[in-house]
Structure 1
């Protein structure tokens, strides 16, 4: 339930980013803008946790590989289709194709290997991205991919040049898988996630603030001082590390609250259990009602985001009262549910 709640919180944060300003003056602007560059990281981190939980035993790993491949293929089609709508959002779902394929490859990895890979990729990935952008500034434009793009453009967008390149965001998936391999029901593990996540997030932000104070902000995207910034979606090391830290802390908080007060976290958890359905629905709503939902000031954007979140939570609670999965989630799981029932009928318990 704690992991589901973290997923629910992530889609609410992305809703705030999509309907309002990413940066605004004052305390209210700072609070509203906090999810920018963090909500999507939490979304991907939870996906990594889910991939690890799916493959937590040797007997389930082959089934997990099939599931991840199936989901990766569907996410590519859904994401490319959603990108063709007029909502002004860089859709993340098609990038999950690369994320889940990476998770599929790392299913056999031990927790210690995932930990080492997580540290290495969080440092090397953003630096490699910066070098690539510096050498090929006309190619690495962070343009998202959609229907009509060639196969080469789609592959390049998912791996290197898009807004969520696996070269950088793969570290988030790996860290999520490492978290998913821990004993998440243990209170000690939950508190370690909370404390370490907060320390890492604040430390990375502090290092960025001190370094920029010493050397100044970069003049353009090829300036080496980009490596010092922690701006949302900058793809730079300190942003990535800080965002992973805050996402880790939020997962730990969700787990801790879910252990002590499950009823308090149930609304967010219910939304997290239909998060894919909600994500698609809110983009469709933006396509048709952008003028009524998106605002450039916090005073109007906050109620808009709150309304969408409340509607989503209300739908999730009502739906989950009668059905196990959300509409889109049901499509994702349907082939494997039928396979599991067939196996159960062929191998009945004594």
Structure 2
């Protein structure tokens, strides 16, 4: 399989301090699936065999449950020359001082990026102020820092209160910290989850007909069961076609080398799942466009799970199939630009302005 991924995401464990409703991996404190520690070091080492990989991400579940081993893993990845990122719910940042001390240790081990998640589902288990403590500590130390807030109609998360805390707001306004609003996806949860009509109109207007998926084939992920995935999307464990193979008896490079190129994955990467669905609808009008698919991953899950779409594409490949393949393969031949980390930091911090974030949040959570 010819790919040039830029990131390796290690889903270190399915264990988490939270048990969010509609969690993509059904994580909770009682789910103990995890990648054995020695194998985490092995996968970091194997990532050096793929020159295009520049970033190693530690996520979960909750990667901070690794304790001091997280520090050691960060150090190992850093010594191999990788940028490092964590994704966390911030449960450990119970005070500004505790957060600062924890982040100082990780920075000394090579941490360069920090991602936090919060919103209604997370806040049921982790106080939003803990997330702010962690994010402020990271921004204070110059780390690329992103906070993602869940978005859906039924949300009662105190968004305005959350962003108005003086230290947090100062970092948002200076650009040291980026805030993202991400639609929450339905999985195996019990609570209601929907989107306002106005928000869906906003999503459809903002989504380009040919908007590609920037993680498919560019971010490889490894699950606690040590399966290699071709994407790090939320429903990746539920999409069989994204499973490339087991790493229990093969290296990352070996699994990639024996996996055939897949046109649909390439199509999704370049043009997004919407393009595949729209194409299939031309041949089978009974195929609906998924309602309330506010997240691109939701559209992708629908696309892969609908047998009619698979049948149409297999029987009627698009006439520009070779052109799509050629564009992709030609892109692999272009040497990656040597981007300075400071430039990457700047791009990551180009979040929406506070007025726009407020307007989007209101649009998504006010019944319409």
User: With structure 1 as the length reference, what TM-score do the two structures score?
Assistant: 0.31
Q: Name the one with the larger strand percent.
A: 2
Higher relative contact order (CA 8 A, sep 6+): 1
Q: Name the one with the larger helix percent.
A: 1
User: With structure 2 as the length reference, what TM-score do the two structures score?
Assistant: 0.30
